Amino acid sequence: MLRTMLEYTNKLCLAPMVRSGELPMRLLALKYGADLVWTPELVDKKIIQSKRIINAELSTIDYVAENHQKPDRKTVIFRKHPKETGKLVFQMGSSDPELAVEAAKKVIDDVDGIDLNCGCPKNFSTHSGMGAELLKTPEKLCSILTSLVENVGKPNGKAISCKIRLFNNFESSKALIEKICTTGITNLTIHCRTPVMRNRQDPVWNFLPKLIPIIEQSGVSVVLNGNFQNKQDLKSIQQALNNDKLSIMFGEAAESNPSVFSDEPVLQSQIIQELYDISTKYYVFPGTKYMMLNMINGKSRYYQIIAKTKNFEQMGDALKNISGDINDSDKLFYTMNRDCQKAIFLKPEDLAAHLEKRHKRITGFFTAWDESTMLQDFDDEPTPKRPAEQQHQQQDTKRQKKQQKKKNKNKTFDTPIESVKA
């Protein structure tokens, strides 16, 4: 059968997000207009040790792992839905060419591309030399990509790509990118921050006018990531850089409300109901609760109501109460977005002004772009956290500790065995 290589140009993409980028989020993103969706990062050894199962009850492909403490339980580490066919990029964490190839071969028939994580700075990704640590070892990084291209991509007619962060020095960034582009990859995603920067800091676009042509001249497409907030941002940056092949990737904006892929994003009250409806069929309660709380402002009176729920039944009852409420002052009845982790709320009538503001910011930056200053080193030291962010982090930490205690006590796993049908 003739296979068509995945096309990455002029696309709206869902970023790979640990915990937030699971199947319910990907299905919602696709429903509202995402062209391509990335899975959360999965480590090569985890995939190699998993078992592929056709879940006839759900019409999904499940990769399940054994639970050594409870042999009668299974953990679904990756679930693929038919609606993702032709649009699904599997992100892998690896620091070893042989393991990367073995893992990629295992999933390649169920996905449309393999993406190597070379940019995440979090410890769960950088251990054993993976994630952003690969930026420090470009020879290893490129050897993994070359092995994936030659042993998985070409034989299967599938795209191999990677996602990186930049250095705060232009020549270092350029040298790395030039090496990566010789590996035969199809696409390069650039998160426009450095590994030490945090998402509360503005992305840095300074080097893009010089780097993008280098990448595209190598026959590699470009996806840009970092604080993009709405569908119109794609056209804005394409116009600003006079390049209609560029694509953009949504992370925090989609995590807050995956309907940002559409021309008319829906209210938080609607999107959390849709998340619930999908999750009750395809996902588990703890993960659903985590995603839902990211979609509800902490000051909303419904935040604590949802936070106190302990199962899908209780969550469903809480959502019924919300659907019958009309409270214009509660942020749940707005559309939430995020600007460098700062929550912003919009009513439908406010959207046009917000889009225009974004457009002016993007086009204004590149109109004023000057090579003599923009190619200089920039300061990438992390900025102090905002008070609201510190409070939010403290709340998250407390919630995570409670969830971990409960998990240790009850051993709650990703997906119960009864939902995994051979």
Q: How crowded is the C-beta side of 134, counted as CA atoms within 13 Å?
A: 27
Do residues 388 and 200 make contact, with C-beta atoms less than 8 angstroms apart?
Answer: no
> Rounded to 5 degrees, what are φ and ψ at 196?
-85, -15
Question: What are the residue numbers of the active site?
Answer: 120
C-alpha–C-alpha distance, residues 315 and 75, integer Å: 23
- Of the candidates 14, 54, 32, the residue with the CA atom closest to the CA atom of residue 275: 32
Tokens at 159, concatenated:
């795209």
